[in-house]
A and B are shown apart, each in its own frame.
Chain A
Amino acid sequence: GQQLNQSPQSMFIQEGEDVSMNCTSSSIFNTWLWYKQEPGEGPVLLIALYKAGELTSNGRLTAQFGITRKDSFLNISASIPSDVGIYFCAGRDNYGQNFVFGPGTRLSVLP
Protein backbone atom coordinates (compact mmCIF):
# COMPACT_ATOMS: atom_id res chain seq x y z
CA GLY A 1 0.00 0.00 0.00
CA GLN A 2 0.91 3.65 -0.07
CA GLN A 3 3.45 4.86 2.44
CA LEU A 4 4.51 8.30 3.52
CA ASN A 5 7.89 9.18 4.95
CA GLN A 6 8.44 12.20 7.15
CA SER A 7 11.77 13.86 7.79
CA PRO A 8 13.17 14.44 10.28
CA GLN A 9 11.69 11.95 12.76
CA SER A 10 12.40 14.37 15.59
CA MET A 11 14.06 17.73 16.09
CA PHE A 12 15.20 19.91 18.95
CA ILE A 13 15.41 23.60 18.20
CA GLN A 14 15.97 26.83 20.07
CA GLU A 15 13.04 29.17 20.63
CA GLY A 16 13.00 31.76 17.85
CA GLU A 17 14.50 29.49 15.20
CA ASP A 18 12.75 28.56 11.98
CA VAL A 19 11.72 24.94 11.38
CA SER A 20 11.46 22.94 8.18
CA MET A 21 10.07 19.45 7.76
CA ASN A 22 8.93 17.43 4.80
CA CYS A 23 6.81 14.50 3.73
CA THR A 24 7.43 12.28 0.73
CA SER A 25 5.34 9.68 -1.04
CA SER A 26 6.05 6.87 -3.48
CA SER A 27 2.98 7.87 -5.48
CA ILE A 28 1.37 11.03 -6.78
CA PHE A 29 -1.13 12.72 -4.49
CA ASN A 30 -3.82 15.29 -5.25
CA THR A 31 -4.36 16.42 -1.66
CA TRP A 32 -1.93 17.04 1.18
CA LEU A 33 -2.84 17.79 4.78
CA TRP A 34 -0.73 18.86 7.75
CA TYR A 35 -1.85 18.16 11.33
CA LYS A 36 -0.41 18.92 14.76
CA GLN A 37 -0.93 16.67 17.77
CA GLU A 38 -0.29 17.81 21.35
CA PRO A 39 -0.08 15.41 24.32
CA GLY A 40 -3.46 14.06 25.38
CA GLU A 41 -5.24 15.44 22.34
CA GLY A 42 -6.18 14.38 18.85
CA PRO A 43 -4.52 15.72 15.70
CA VAL A 44 -5.69 19.18 14.71
CA LEU A 45 -5.73 20.29 11.08
CA LEU A 46 -3.22 23.06 10.31
CA ILE A 47 -3.21 23.41 6.54
CA ALA A 48 -4.84 21.69 3.55
CA LEU A 49 -3.30 21.78 0.05
CA TYR A 50 -5.18 20.85 -3.12
CA LYS A 51 -3.03 21.94 -6.07
CA ALA A 52 0.56 21.22 -7.14
CA GLY A 53 2.79 24.19 -6.32
CA GLU A 54 0.25 25.66 -3.91
CA LEU A 55 1.73 27.64 -1.03
CA THR A 56 -0.58 28.26 1.94
CA SER A 57 0.04 30.02 5.24
CA ASN A 58 -1.63 29.80 8.63
CA GLY A 59 -0.03 32.38 10.89
CA ARG A 60 3.65 31.45 11.32
CA LEU A 61 3.11 28.18 9.47
CA THR A 62 3.56 27.81 5.72
CA ALA A 63 3.03 24.61 3.75
CA GLN A 64 3.72 23.82 0.13
CA PHE A 65 2.37 21.18 -2.24
CA GLY A 66 5.45 19.97 -4.12
CA ILE A 67 5.43 20.37 -7.89
CA THR A 68 6.22 16.67 -8.39
CA ARG A 69 3.03 15.94 -6.38
CA LYS A 70 5.06 13.38 -4.40
CA ASP A 71 6.05 15.66 -1.57
CA SER A 72 4.97 18.45 0.72
CA PHE A 73 6.80 20.80 3.06
CA LEU A 74 5.92 22.56 6.30
CA ASN A 75 7.82 25.53 7.65
CA ILE A 76 7.37 27.21 11.02
CA SER A 77 8.92 30.63 11.47
CA ALA A 78 10.18 32.06 14.76
CA SER A 79 9.28 29.00 16.84
CA ILE A 80 7.74 29.39 20.30
CA PRO A 81 7.33 26.86 23.14
CA SER A 82 3.70 26.10 22.22
CA ASP A 83 4.86 24.78 18.84
CA VAL A 84 5.93 21.60 20.65
CA GLY A 85 4.10 18.53 19.41
CA ILE A 86 4.01 15.90 16.71
CA TYR A 87 3.40 17.09 13.16
CA PHE A 88 1.72 14.64 10.80
CA CYS A 89 1.32 14.85 7.06
CA ALA A 90 -1.47 13.02 5.24
CA GLY A 91 -2.05 12.55 1.55
CA ARG A 92 -4.54 11.10 -0.87
CA ASP A 93 -4.45 10.20 -4.55
CA ASN A 94 -7.24 10.15 -7.14
CA TYR A 95 -7.99 6.49 -6.50
CA GLY A 96 -7.81 6.28 -2.73
CA GLN A 97 -10.94 6.70 -0.69
CA ASN A 98 -9.03 7.65 2.42
CA PHE A 99 -6.00 9.60 3.52
CA VAL A 100 -2.68 7.93 4.32
CA PHE A 101 -0.79 9.35 7.30
CA GLY A 102 2.94 9.73 7.80
CA PRO A 103 4.69 8.57 11.00
CA GLY A 104 5.10 12.14 12.26
CA THR A 105 7.87 14.60 13.13
CA ARG A 106 8.27 15.26 16.85
CA LEU A 107 9.24 18.87 17.52
CA SER A 108 10.79 20.07 20.78
CA VAL A 109 11.47 23.77 21.39
CA LEU A 110 14.09 24.70 23.93
CA PRO A 111 13.68 28.03 25.76
Chain B
Amino acid sequence: DADVTQTPRNRITKTGKRIMLECSQTKGHDRMYWYRQDPGLGLRLIYYSFDVKDINKGEISDGYSVSRQAQAKFSLSLESAIPNQTALYFCATSDMGQQPQHFGDGTRLSIL
Protein backbone atom coordinates (compact mmCIF):
# COMPACT_ATOMS: atom_id res chain seq x y z
CA ASP B 1 0.00 0.00 0.00
CA ALA B 2 1.87 3.08 -1.27
CA ASP B 3 -0.06 5.24 1.22
CA VAL B 4 1.96 3.70 4.06
CA THR B 5 5.72 4.00 3.49
CA GLN B 6 8.37 2.24 5.54
CA THR B 7 12.08 3.00 5.51
CA PRO B 8 14.45 1.30 5.22
CA ARG B 9 13.09 -1.75 3.36
CA ASN B 10 16.05 -3.86 4.40
CA ARG B 11 18.64 -3.48 7.14
CA ILE B 12 21.49 -5.64 8.37
CA THR B 13 23.17 -4.61 11.59
CA LYS B 14 25.15 -5.93 14.52
CA THR B 15 24.14 -6.90 18.03
CA GLY B 16 24.08 -3.93 20.40
CA LYS B 17 23.43 -1.28 17.76
CA ARG B 18 20.57 1.20 18.03
CA ILE B 19 18.19 1.04 15.09
CA MET B 20 15.28 3.18 14.03
CA LEU B 21 12.59 2.12 11.57
CA GLU B 22 10.42 4.85 10.14
CA CYS B 23 6.84 4.88 8.94
CA SER B 24 4.92 7.66 7.25
CA GLN B 25 1.37 7.69 5.91
CA THR B 26 -0.70 9.84 3.61
CA LYS B 27 -4.05 8.22 4.46
CA GLY B 28 -4.91 10.79 7.12
CA HIS B 29 -5.55 8.06 9.68
CA ASP B 30 -5.25 8.80 13.38
CA ARG B 31 -4.22 5.29 14.42
CA MET B 32 -0.82 3.76 13.70
CA TYR B 33 0.69 0.40 14.65
CA TRP B 34 3.96 -1.52 14.59
CA TYR B 35 3.89 -5.29 14.12
CA ARG B 36 6.52 -7.97 13.98
CA GLN B 37 6.16 -11.02 11.70
CA ASP B 38 7.99 -14.29 12.29
CA PRO B 39 7.44 -17.46 10.23
CA GLY B 40 4.45 -19.44 11.50
CA LEU B 41 3.52 -16.84 14.12
CA GLY B 42 1.55 -14.35 12.09
CA LEU B 43 1.62 -10.69 13.08
CA ARG B 44 2.28 -9.67 16.67
CA LEU B 45 1.59 -6.16 17.91
CA ILE B 46 4.57 -4.25 19.36
CA TYR B 47 3.19 -0.75 19.98
CA TYR B 48 0.25 1.32 18.83
CA SER B 49 -0.82 4.95 18.90
CA PHE B 50 -4.32 6.40 18.55
CA ASP B 51 -3.12 9.99 18.15
CA VAL B 52 0.01 12.14 18.46
CA LYS B 53 0.10 12.15 22.28
CA ASP B 54 -0.97 8.54 22.72
CA ILE B 55 1.45 5.58 22.99
CA ASN B 56 0.40 2.07 24.05
CA LYS B 57 2.29 -1.17 24.53
CA GLY B 58 1.25 -4.16 22.53
CA GLU B 59 1.78 -7.87 23.03
CA ILE B 60 5.60 -7.83 22.66
CA SER B 61 6.91 -4.35 23.54
CA ASP B 62 10.01 -5.38 25.53
CA GLY B 63 13.21 -4.23 23.82
CA TYR B 64 11.37 -1.69 21.64
CA SER B 65 10.30 1.94 21.92
CA VAL B 66 8.27 4.21 19.65
CA SER B 67 7.77 7.87 18.88
CA ARG B 68 4.71 9.46 17.28
CA GLN B 69 6.21 12.70 15.97
CA ALA B 70 3.16 13.77 13.99
CA GLN B 71 -0.12 12.33 12.83
CA ALA B 72 1.59 11.01 9.73
CA LYS B 73 4.76 9.59 11.32
CA PHE B 74 5.40 6.73 13.71
CA SER B 75 8.90 5.40 14.30
CA LEU B 76 10.07 2.21 16.00
CA SER B 77 13.43 1.98 17.80
CA LEU B 78 15.48 -0.94 18.99
CA GLU B 79 17.71 0.57 21.67
CA SER B 80 20.22 -2.29 21.71
CA ALA B 81 19.48 -4.83 19.01
CA ILE B 82 19.75 -8.56 19.71
CA PRO B 83 19.67 -11.46 17.22
CA ASN B 84 16.20 -12.69 18.22
CA GLN B 85 14.82 -9.36 17.01
CA THR B 86 15.61 -10.48 13.48
CA ALA B 87 12.22 -10.39 11.75
CA LEU B 88 9.97 -8.64 9.26
CA TYR B 89 8.49 -5.44 10.71
CA PHE B 90 5.26 -3.86 9.47
CA CYS B 91 3.70 -0.49 10.08
CA ALA B 92 -0.06 -0.15 9.73
CA THR B 93 -2.68 2.58 9.97
CA SER B 94 -6.41 2.63 10.53
CA ASP B 95 -9.30 4.96 10.93
CA MET B 96 -11.34 5.02 14.14
CA GLY B 97 -13.60 2.26 15.40
CA GLN B 98 -13.69 -1.17 13.80
CA GLN B 99 -12.01 -0.06 10.59
CA PRO B 100 -9.45 -2.43 9.05
CA GLN B 101 -5.74 -1.75 9.15
CA HIS B 102 -3.70 -0.86 6.07
CA PHE B 103 -0.11 -2.08 5.97
CA GLY B 104 3.16 -0.84 4.57
CA ASP B 105 5.44 -3.16 2.61
CA GLY B 106 7.61 -4.01 5.58
CA THR B 107 11.21 -3.70 6.75
CA ARG B 108 13.33 -6.84 6.76
CA LEU B 109 15.72 -6.52 9.72
CA SER B 110 18.64 -8.88 10.29
CA ILE B 111 20.74 -8.64 13.44
CA LEU B 112 24.05 -10.47 13.40
Contact = CB atoms under 8 A, between A and B. Distances in A.
Q: Provide the main secondary structure of the chain A interface.
A: loop
A5 B88 CA distance: 21
A104 B42 contact: yes
B103 A44 contact: yes
Q: Provide the main secondary structure of the chain B interface.
A: strand
- Residue from A1, A4, A31, A43 having most chain B Cβ neighbours under 10 A: A43
Contacts, number: 53
Interface string A37-48: 000111111001
Interface string A47-58: 010100000000
Interface residues of A, number: 25
Interface of A: 1, 4, 9, 30-31, 33, 35, 40-45, 48, 50, 88, 90, 92, 97-99, 101-104
